[in-house]
Amino acid sequence: MDGEDKLKTAKWTRADVDALMSMPFAELVFRAAEVHREFFDPNEVQASRLLSIKTGGCPEDCGYCSQSAKFDTGLEASKLMDREAVVAEAKRAKEEGASRFCMGAAWRSPKDRDMAELCAMVGEVKALGLETCMTLGMLSESQANQLSDAGLDYYNHNIDTSPEYYGNIITTRTFEDRIDTLEKVRASGMKVCCGGIVGMGEAPEDRVGFLLALANMTPPPESVPINALMPIEGTPLGASEPVGALDFVRMIAVARILMPTSFVRLSAGREAMSAETQALSFLAGANSIFVGDELLTTANPGQTRDAEMFEALGVRLI
Ligand code: SAM
Ligand code: DTB
Ligand code: SF4
């Protein structure tokens, strides 16, 4: 496809996204809430549970990450967890109300020799009646196909920010490398989970470029995690200013309007967020969260605090 054809198939232009981003807040949230109701029950929120199956010692240099071996964050590295321990955690997640179990590994990419074990893990977690998701770094075509054949429902691989800002955050791989893996995941038949982080010092135009890149994927990712940076001491972004609540909600609302049928996940950052900011995010179209008291290496609100909030909001976790 040449450049002109590509432009014709692009559903959204930068001007469209600019216009949404600069709308008055109430108007934007109202529109997002309308779109949300067209495709989803606004009183239902999907619940995923994360587990770090291989922690720390990662060769990549993502400037936000506690798990990069390039930064001294005090995190202890560990090997790939035993399958039985992973399955036990998945069981617990299911009992606590999660419908999807997301397994994350601090790798640049998985080793071919680990694939059989990873595929067996997928099979056993799925057999519990959970949806499965993995995030293991870059994949070869054969690795994507093996995971898909094992029944993996979703693969998470974030673009993190705009193509233009990417090199300021990560130097050990390119934005194109990310797209390359995402294409292999899509071609393998798995569903795509792809989003990014706000609060890394990006300019307003980078937030636009980030959402535009997601929305113009064909098709857009089925699951779109929007993370607020969890600042990690020892990383280059450890002293970043938190994103304002209204700016965060604006990102959720624009994501909802651009990708009406996707699950938009209010992801990392809920620990430091008030129930009111989270409520505004759900009003603006967020309809998925991570449950449990831990994400991969950082804290999350946990069952008691969440149960209280969802009870007050009349929201059902699905
Ligand atoms: N190593 C794999 C990779 O990077 O593709 C998978 C694990 S990685 C931890 C998954 C995603 O978590 C990252 O792409 C990033 O968007 C998010 N993440 C990591 N550290 C974060 C932080 N401190 N705050 C917010 N999001 C973070
Ligand atoms: C995503 O977008 N957020 C999750 C998941 N995909 C893998 C990870 C959040 C990690 C937050 C920092 C930590 O706990 O280490
Ligand atoms: Fe490694 Fe993933 Fe962390 Fe980057 S985000 S340093 S690839 S674990």
What separation in Å is there between the alpha carbon of 16 and the centre of ligand 3?
Answer: 32
Which residue among 52, 64, 294 is best mutated to probe the pocket of ligand 1, counting the most ligand atoms within 8 A of its Cβ? 64
What separation in Å is there between the alpha carbon of 225 and the centre of ligand 2?
Answer: 9
Spatial separation of the C-alpha atoms in residues 186 and 192, rounded to whole Å: 7
Pairing status of strand 316-317 against strand 131-135: unpaired
Q: Which atom of ligand 1 is nearest to the CA of 157?
A: 5
For the chain, the farthest-separated pair of C-alpha atoms sits apart, in whole angstroms, at 53
Task: Name which of 221, 111, 107 is nearest 172 in CA terms.
Answer: 107
pLDDT for 303 beyond 60: yes
Ligand nearest to the CA of 136: 1
Spatial separation of the C-alpha atoms in residues 99 and 91, rounded to whole Å: 11
Question: From the CB of residue 85, how many other CB atoms can be counted at a distance below 10 Å?
Answer: 11
Predicted structure pTM score: 0.97
What pLDDT, in 10s, does the model give residues 40-82? 999 999 999 999 999 999 999 999 999 999 999 999 999 999 9
Spatial separation of the C-alpha atoms in residues 128 and 318, rounded to whole Å: 16
Are 152 and 192 in contact by the 8 Å Cβ rule? The answer is no
What separation in Å is there between the alpha carbon of 62 and the centre of ligand 3?
Answer: 6
pLDDT for 7 beyond 80: no
Distances (CA, A) of 311 to 161, 250, 270: 34, 25, 17
What pLDDT, in 10s, does the model give residues 81-137? 999 999 999 999 999 999 999 999 999 999 999 999 999 999 999 999 999 999 999
Q: Which residue lies with its CA nearest to atom 2 of ligand 3?
A: 106
Spatial separation of the C-alpha atoms in residues 253 and 255, rounded to whole Å: 5
Confidence of residue 311 (pLDDT cuts 50, 70, 90): very high
What pLDDT, in 10s, does the model give residues 132-168? 999 999 999 999 999 999 999 999 999 999 999 999 9
Distances (CA, A) of 38 to 17, 214, 256, 257, 289: 20, 20, 11, 11, 20
Which pLDDT does position 9 carry in this prediction? 61
Which pLDDT does position 1 carry in this prediction? 44
The set of catalytic residues is: 58, 62, 65, 102, 133, 193, 265
Spatial separation of the C-alpha atoms in residues 56 and 95, rounded to whole Å: 28
pLDDT for 308 beyond 60: yes
Q: Is 230 in the pocket of ligand 1 (CB under 6 A)?
A: yes
Alpha helices, H only, the chain: 3-9, 14-21, 25-39, 83-95, 115-127, 141-149, 166-169, 175-188, 204-215, 245-258, 275-283, 303-313
Which pLDDT does position 10 carry in this prediction? 73
Task: Name which of 248, 246, 249 is nearest 284 in CA terms.
Answer: 249
**How big is the chain by its Cα radius of gyration, in Å?**
19
pLDDT > 70: percent of the chain: 97
Strand partners, 191: 154
Which pLDDT does position 3 carry in this prediction? 45
Q: Is 64 in the pocket of ligand 1 (CB under 6 A)?
A: yes
Q: Which atom of ligand 3 is nearest to the CA of 68?
A: 6
Are 296 and 67 in contact by the 8 Å Cβ rule? The answer is yes
Q: Which atom of ligand 2 is nearest to the CA of 135?
A: 7
Q: What is the overall mean pLDDT for the chain?
A: 96
What pLDDT, in 10s, does the model give residues 229-258? 999 999 999 999 999 999 999 999 999 999
pLDDT for 8 beyond 70: no
Are 291 and 317 in contact by the 8 Å Cβ rule? The answer is yes
